[in-house]
Amino acid sequence: MRIAAAFERAKNETRAALGLFVTAGDPDPKTSLEILLGLPDQGVDFVELGMPFSDPMADGPAIQAGSLRALKGGTKLGDVLAMARAFRDRHPEVPLILMGYFNPIYIYGVERFITDAVNAGVDGMIMVDLPPEEDQEFCLKARDAGLDFIRLITPTTDDDRMPVVLANSSGFVYYVSITGITGTRSASGDSIGQAMARIRDASDLPAVVGFGIRTPEQVREAAAHADGVVVGSAIVDQLAASLDDNGHATATTVSSVLELAKSLGEGRRP
């Protein structure tokens, strides 16, 4: 319900909702938690918390590197869930979505994971490598337990495919605005507008756009078409730029990420 309420709030304020992606444990558990807990106060409406994976096959260099930093720092799936719980304790209303790849969850145990995620106050899941064809693996069980399953629609999703992708979707619809991996290129406002129209014809869920959105200006442009906008790689890049030569956090790491979050938040209004 937190997801629907957050979009409702944004709508009432005639603006789009802003979601930010951060990788859990990047660059180290403590810094990562500080960033996560600080995001809502910068005007971030929902958070996508990345579950690090050794082989993120739909991610570009920035998020790959963030994942590897987190793994090197010892972050495990159980730690991601503990971060989620800490976030929920601090921010009872802000939607938290976990995003990642299936294998760590499969090894953790699907049923056990779903129980633990619900108990930690997680609202929804984005699973990059679980298309509708694999819904019996995870999606249906997660939905039964009350987790939203947010699916990606891409420029390759044609009219035949759209209903298949939407069938077991809930929470919101996430439009991947480019045919590509994270952090590489950006789509034009026009193409986003056309895609949003197509999605709204097919679904009543809030329509969110992400991939390739990096600046407050791009947030503003996308916000003109969408109910929500997600920024990921730009945040991870900002974090990476603040690290020392050994990849460790510095005094500016938390503040520089939160400052970027704040300026992105200013783009939410047309």
Partner 1 sequence: MNDQSPNASPMNSYRNQPDENGRFGIHGGRFVAETLMPLILKVEDAWKSSLTDPDFQKELDYYRKHYIGRPSPLYFAERLTAHFGGAKLYMKRDELNHTGAHKINNVIGQALLAKRMGKTKIIAETGAGQHGVASATACALFDMECEVFMGAEDVERQKPNVDRMRLLGAKVHPVTSGTGTLKDAMNEALRYWVSNAETHFYIIGTAAGPHPYPAMVRDFQSVIGHEARAQIIEAEGRLPDSIVACIGGGSNALGLFHPFLDDDSVSIYGVEAAGKGIETGEHAASLTGGRPGVLHGNRTYLLQNDDGQIEDAFSISAGLDYPGIGPEHAWLHDTGRVNYVSATDEEALEYFQLCSRLEGIIPALEPAHALAFIGSMIGDMDKDQIVVMNMCGRGDKDLGAVLPMLEERGKL
Least distance (Å) between residue 57 CB and partner 1: 5
- 34 carries an active-site annotation: no
Residue number, 192 or 258, with CB nearest to partner 1: 192
Nearest Cα residue to 149 out of 220, 97, 92 = 97
Using N-to-C axis directions, what is the helix angle for 253-265 and 233-241, rounded to 10°?
150
Q: Which of 26, 28, 45, 48 is catalytic?
A: 48
Least distance (Å) between residue 217 CB and partner 1: 24
Least distance (Å) between residue 137 CB and partner 1: 8
User: 146 with 167: CB under 8 angstroms?
Assistant: no
Residue number, 103 or 115, with CB nearest to partner 1: 103
Residue number, 102 or 202, with CB nearest to partner 1: 102
- 48 carries an active-site annotation: yes
Residue number, 40 or 174, with CB nearest to partner 1: 174
Per the DSSP assignment, residues forming a β-bridge with 97 are 48, 124
Least distance (Å) between residue 182 CB and partner 1: 10
Least distance (Å) between residue 115 CB and partner 1: 17
Residues that bind partner 1 in the complex, under the rule CB under 8 A:
53-61, 64, 71, 76-77, 101-108, 128-134, 137, 151-158, 161, 165, 176, 179-181, 184
Q: Which of 26, 59, 221, 237 is catalytic?
A: 59
Residue number, 144 or 158, with CB nearest to partner 1: 158
Catalytically annotated residues: 48, 59
